[in-house]
């Protein structure tokens, strides 16, 4: 029998075409390819549990309990950069490799972060609303800023953080970053400044852009205290993971005017849950869509298919994040 590769889509926000057209181009007749739509891993049926490889989209959680039910899985591939939806420790204990696709949407996410920053600095949405009310009063004039007078602060100078930093630099921002895991000299190589502590970065920043993974260290990295260190005129942009920012803290800061604005592609416990959350002033929210473009999704699907095919062939894997290889 052919090995089986199953693509798992999240029922609450499906992203696939249901036909695996891109995946089948890569995998061909070397494995059976199935598509399943699930809310969580409690809905994995026998065909999923007997698969040799899983390609998991978006926010579908793959928990310790779900991993324990897998019968012959060799790899779980998270179709995206983040892999916090997969219990990587449980997978390691069961000898299952976990891989991600870290480079597919670098340009898109960096572009999206800059778009949110520009919308905030130039107050595009309030100006649009004013113009469409047939008025011409620039009520938000106190929030309109000259970019070259502002510091663009980046948390996490990985692939996407670097791309966003270079874009901000090209626009005239003064760019500074905080990343405790990078060696000395990175700031010189990229031509930007470095903050040695998160507190230093926050105190200097006018636009804070988050580009770090979500893990135990970064969960609620930005909460009440951190937001209080920002200038009241500062803007916050998050295209990383929602729970890097404590949702109640940032919404409260916006409501009380302690923060000038926020552009969030991701929010903790997304999507927004109430009318009150959605009505928060000076808030732009997009639909966890920063990664999204026709080109990026094709690139991502081709990469995850290549990893899945290598796994069922017993070949070396790309982008392993939990230390398991075979």
The domains spanning 4-104+293-313 and 106-285 adopt the same CATH topology: yes
**Domain ranges across the chain:** 4-104+293-313, 106-285
Could you tell me which residues come within 8 angstroms of residue 166 by beta carbon, excluding any fewer than 6 positions away?
190
Placement of tokens 């970065």 in the chain = 201
Query: 53-57 and 97-99: which strand pairing?
Result: unpaired
- Residues designated as active site: 241, 270, 288
What is the pLDDT at residue 14? Answer: 85
**Of 213, 225, 202, whose CA–CA distance to 152 is shortest?**
202
- How many H helices and E strands in the chain? 13, 12
Residue 46 has pLDDT above 90, yes or no: yes
Could you tell me which residues come within 8 angstroms of residue 239 by beta carbon, excluding any fewer than 6 positions away?
109, 112, 113, 116, 160, 209, 210, 211, 265, 266, 290
Rounded-to-integer distance, Cα 148 and Cα 267, Å: 29
Rounded-to-integer distance, Cα 5 and Cα 312, Å: 8
Q: pLDDT per residue over 251-275, tens digit each?
A: 999 999 999 999 999 999 999 999 9
Edge to edge, the sheet with strand 151-155 lists 193-194, 174-178, 151-155, 207-210, 235-238, 261-264, 283-285
CATH of 4-104+293-313, one of 3.40.630.10, 3.40.50.720, 3.40.50.300, 1.10.10.10: 3.40.50.720
DSSP string, 234-252: -EEEE-S-GGGB-HHHHHH
CATH of 106-285, one of 3.30.590.10, 3.30.1360.120, 1.10.3720.10, 3.40.50.720: 3.40.50.720
Q: What is the mean pLDDT of residues 102-112?
A: 94
What is the pLDDT at residue 16? Answer: 82
Two tokens, residue 290:
């920063």
CA distances from 70 to 64, 88, 326 (A): 10, 14, 18
Q: pLDDT per residue over 217-240, tens digit each?
A: 999 999 999 999 999 999 999 999
What is the pLDDT at residue 169? Answer: 98
Could you tell me which residues come within 8 angstroms of residue 90 by beta carbon, excluding any fewer than 6 positions away?
63, 64, 67, 68
Q: Residue 97 in contact with residue 315, Cβ under 8 Å?
A: no
**Of 165, 179, 160, whose CA–CA distance to 82 is shortest?**
160
What is the pLDDT at residue 70? Answer: 98
What is the pLDDT at residue 154? Answer: 98
Rounded-to-integer distance, Cα 145 and Cα 124, Å: 12
Report the run of H or E that residue 57 belongs to, with start and end: strand 53-57
């Amino acid at each position: 029998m052919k090995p089986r590769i199953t693509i798992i889509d999240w029922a609450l926000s499906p992203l696939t075409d249901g036909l695996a057209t891109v995946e089948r181009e890569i995998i061909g007749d070397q494995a059976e390819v199935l598509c399943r739509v699930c809310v969580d891993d409690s809905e994995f049926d026998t065909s999923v549990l007997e698969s040799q490889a899983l390609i998991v989209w978006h926010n579908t959680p793959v928990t310790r309990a779900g991993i324990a039910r897998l019968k012959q899985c060799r790899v779980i591939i998270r179709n995206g950069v983040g892999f916090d939806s997969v219990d990587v420790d449980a997978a390691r204990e069961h000898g299952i490799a976990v891989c991600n696709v870290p480079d597919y949407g670098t340009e898109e996410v960096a572009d999206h972060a800059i778009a949110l920053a520009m919308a905030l600095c130039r107050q595009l949405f309030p100006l649009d609303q004013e113009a469409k009310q047939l008025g011409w009063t620039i009520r938000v004039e106190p929030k309109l800023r000259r970019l070259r007078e502002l510091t663009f602060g980046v948390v996490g100078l990985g692939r996407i953080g670097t791309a966003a930093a270079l874009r901000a630099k090209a626009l005239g921002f003064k760019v500074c970053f905080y990343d405790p895991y990078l060696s000395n000299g990175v700031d010189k190589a990229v031509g930007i400044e470095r903050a040695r502590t998160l507190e230093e970065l926050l105190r200097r920043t006018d636009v804070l852009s988050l580009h770090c993974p979500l893990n135990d260290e970064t969960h609620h990295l930005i909460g009440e205290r951190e937001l209080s260190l920002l200038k009241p005129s500062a803007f916050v942009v998050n295209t990383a993971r929602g729970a890097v920012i404590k949702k109640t803290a940032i919404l409260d800061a916006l409501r009380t005017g302690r923060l000038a604005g926020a552009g969030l592609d991701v929010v903790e416990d997304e999507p927004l849950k109430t009318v009150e959350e959605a009505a928060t002033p000076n808030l732009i929210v997009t639909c966890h869509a920063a990664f999204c473009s026709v080109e990026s999704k094709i690139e991502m699907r081709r990469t995850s298919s290549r990893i899945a095919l290598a796994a069922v062939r017993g070949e070396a894997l790309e982008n392993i994040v939990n230390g398991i290889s075979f």
